[in-house]
């Protein structure tokens, strides 16, 4: 019998049962791809991250991400949760100031900030943002999302955006409209698969007492009806805001984004956008909470 240590980490929150839950398997070097997929299905969390020895001198770990249904190229909240686990449970914060993950989309460095007594935040630098146009009828998109076409905010463009995975950015007029969205998940899944889209990301500039933007994210194409708090999609949103000229490209911006409230898993992301020679640099940060740790028992290898 083999025993594998697994963790349930709630990301973008400092409380259990909030934010976005991720499975983290920090010692996955001996697992096969089939075993990783089966473990992700067994944990049945939106995504699980598996940390393997890196074959690159400029990375500390190779990381693979799985939903209960399939492998995906990148996952922001599982990245943050994995780095938080390494820093808080495996003493990496005492050894170095950062860890670098090698992922299917490239290198992702993660830095941690320490308060007087404990870890306070980890921040990932995502790969360079991109945007692209997608021909989609506003009325048809609104119908798939369970919205009125009048709920869509026509001051801002509907675009694809990516910091590693393509997300469909949908501007909405109000938080109330976003909270009332009831997407046709099967249709949305087929649409997103057809266009190579990972998730559909609703956002509004309606501010709250502790946030600048409010979002929801639907990912049925990868087996996740609603992703509670999405590091990758909100990083892509930050890139969209700058590349589409909604935020000035020559200035540094700091944003606080709220997500998860609609499904009673509130989370908060801190995003910094910094001008760079090759385009905007997107950093997504937050805290996490290790909620469960345990041993998964697997059959002995034959």
What pLDDT is recorded for position 301? 72
In this structure, of 16-20, 176-180, 280-284, 297-301, the range with the lowest mean pLDDT score is 297-301
2-111+289-298 and 130-279 in the same fold: yes
Ranges assigned E (strand) in 104-212: 106-114, 119-125, 130-132, 159-162, 166-171, 199-204
Q: Looking at residues 93-112, what average pLDDT do you find? A: 95
Please state, in angstroms and as integers, the Cα–Cα distance from residue 72 to each residue in 50, 138, 226, following that order. 12, 28, 16
If DSSP codes are grouped into helix, strand and coil, which group holds residue 174?
coil
3-state helix, strand, coil in the chain (%, to 5): 25, 40, 35
State the number of CA atoms in the 13 A half-sphere of 155 facing the CB.
10
CA distance 287 to 10: 9
What pLDDT is recorded for position 302? 54
CA distance 166 to 254: 22
pLDDT band, residue 299 (cuts 50/70/90): confident
What pLDDT is recorded for position 117? 72
- Two tokens, residue 133: 């146009």
- Two tokens, residue 101: 């993950």
- Which of 33, 47, 277, 301 is labelled catalytic? 47
CATH level 2 (architecture), domain 2-111+289-298? Roll (3.10)
Query: How many Cβ atoms are within 10 Å of 128's Cβ, its own excluded?
Result: 16
Q: Looking at residues 89-112, what average pLDDT do you find? A: 94
Residue found under tokens 């119908």: 143
Helix (H) / strand (E) element for 256: namely: strand 253-259
Give yes or no: 47 in active site. yes
pLDDT band, residue 50 (cuts 50/70/90): very high
Q: List the Cα angle 284/119/201 in 5-degree steps.
A: 25
What pLDDT is recorded for position 23? 98
Domain 130-279: state its class: alpha beta
Spans of all domains in the chain = 2-111+289-298, 130-279
pLDDT band, residue 114 (cuts 50/70/90): confident
Q: Does 81 score more than 80 pLDDT?
A: yes
CA distance 81 to 242: 27
Residue found under tokens 């839950």: 21
Per-residue pLDDT tens for 203-239? Answer: 999 999 999 999 999 999 999 999 999 999 999 999 9
In contact, 214 and 204? CB cutoff 8 Å: yes
Residue % of the chain over a pLDDT of 90? 94
Name the average pLDDT for the chain.
Answer: 96
If DSSP codes are grouped into helix, strand and coil, which group holds residue 299?
coil
């Amino acid at each position: 019998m083999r025993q594998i240590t697994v963790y349930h980490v709630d990301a973008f929150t400092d409380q259990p049962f909030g934010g976005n839950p991720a499975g983290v398997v920090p010692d996955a070097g001996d697992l096969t791809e089939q075993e990783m997929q089966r473990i992700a299905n067994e944990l049945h969390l939106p995504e699980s991250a598996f940390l393997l020895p890196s074959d690159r001198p400029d990375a500390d770990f190779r990381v693979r991400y799985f939903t209960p249904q399939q492998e995906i190229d990148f996952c922001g909240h599982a990245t943050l949760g994995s780095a938080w686990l390494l820093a808080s449970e495996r003493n990496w914060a005492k050894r170095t100031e950062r860890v670098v993950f090698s992922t299917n989309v490239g290198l992702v460095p993660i830095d941690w900030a320490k308060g007087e007594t404990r870890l306070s935040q980890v921040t990932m630098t995502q790969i360079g943002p991109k945007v692209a146009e997608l021909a989609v009828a506003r009325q048809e998109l609104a119908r798939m999302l369970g919205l009125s076409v009048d709920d869509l905010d026509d001051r801002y463009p509907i675009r694809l955006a990516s910091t590693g995975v393509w997300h469909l950015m949908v501007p909405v007029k109000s938080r109330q409209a976003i909270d009332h969205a009831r997407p046709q998940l099967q249709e949305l899944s087929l649409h997103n698969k057809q266009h190579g889209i990972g998730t559909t990301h609703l956002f509004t500039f309606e501010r709250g007492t502790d946030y600048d933007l409010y979002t929801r994210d639907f990912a049925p194409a990868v087996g996740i009806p609603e992703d509670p708090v999405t590091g990758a999609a909100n990083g892509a949103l930050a890139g969209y805001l700058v590349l589409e000229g909604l935020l000035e490209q020559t200035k540094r911006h700091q944003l606080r984004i709220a997500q998860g409230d609609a499904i009673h898993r509130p989370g908060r992301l801190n995003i910094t956008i910094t001008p760079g020679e090759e385009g905007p640099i997107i950093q997504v940060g937050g805290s996490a909470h290790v909620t469960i740790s345990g041993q998964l028992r697997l059959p002995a290898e034959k």
